[in-house]
Amino acid sequence: MIVAANFKMHKTRKEVKKYLEELKNIKFNGVKVAIFPPQSALFEDKIIGAQNAYPAINGAYTGEIGLEQLNEFNIKRILIGHSERRHILGETQEFIAKKFEFFKNEGFEIFYCIGEPLEIREKGIEAVIEYLKGQIEGIDLGYEKLIVAYEPVWAIGTGVSAKIEQIKKTHAEIRKFTSKPLLYGGSVKLNNIEEILSIENVDGVLVGSASLDVNVFKEMIEKAAECKISK
């Protein structure tokens, strides 16, 4: 079971440090935990991954960080393809695939995100799968250090997660393309995590807003550990 936290543009370096200290007060009991803090709060810690980086060692890419900056903290984990980078920052599939290739060649563990907007979901599951296929174009789905996160855009940060049946169906379809761990993300909260983790083909969760409170996130890890035992 994998439980990952995406802090997005929240928390300072000092706050992340304190968060990690508190988080480590509990045993993870076999749950794999990953934390993606903002770039200014990267630490040398196995639990930490980068929310983003440019696919180059260094160079003239204003506002970006690259491999050299990640290496400083021994970061070996990265989030690629998150919907906010696709839709707000305008990353194209071509660029995302290039980024994937670069960090794959560097041996990073890649949390690769896919997910459809509401207008596609409203057209039905076939349209959703077609859309998701476009988001795996150029991506090596057999990469050994790949973790796929299905995050419907309409469920991210809205407080309305996808319905159990929708997650079940979509994950079953994605499973046809990859045998790698599949996470669900999009308004995962304390009150729905157990139900979500009990769905077939759900190997973990990627949590945004609810992960910001360390006590909530700790409880989520504990619940995941229990699900692992009963699954």
Report the interface residues with ligand PGA, using CB under 6 A.
6, 151, 156-157, 185-188, 206-210
Q: Is 48 helix (H, G, I), strand (E, B) or coil?
A: strand
Q: Which helix (H) or strand (E) holds 94?
A: helix 93-105
Minimal distance in Å, beta carbon 208 to ligand PGA? 2
Q: Which is nearer to ligand PGA, 178 or 211 (CB)?
A: 211
Question: CA-based angle 23:29:33, to the nearest 5?
Answer: 50
Minimal distance in Å, beta carbon 60 to ligand PGA? 30
Q: Which is nearer to ligand PGA, 47 or 67 (CB)?
A: 47
Q: Which two tokens stand for residue 210?
A: 């609810």
Q: What 8-state DSSP symbol labels residue 79?
A: E
Minimal distance in Å, beta carbon 2 to ligand PGA? 13
Q: Which is nearer to ligand PGA, 67 or 207 (CB)?
A: 207
Does residue 94 carry a catalytic annotation? no
Query: Between the CA atoms of 213, 216, 222 and 227, what dihedral angle is there, to the nearest 10 degrees?
Result: -120
Query: Cα dist. 219→37, 47, 110, 190 in Å?
Result: 19, 17, 25, 7
Question: One of 82, 84, 91, 116 is an active-site residue; which one?
Answer: 82
Q: Which is nearer to ligand PGA, 67 or 156 (CB)?
A: 156
Minimal distance in Å, beta carbon 131 to ligand PGA? 17
Taking CB atoms, the residue at the shortest distance from ligand PGA is: 208
Q: Which two tokens stand for residue 128?
A: 């959703």
Q: Which two tokens stand for residue 2?
A: 């994998």
Distance CA 201, CA 181 (A): 8
Does residue 151 carry a catalytic annotation? yes
Question: One of 91, 116, 151, 171 is an active-site residue; which one?
Answer: 151
- Annotated catalytic residues are 82, 151
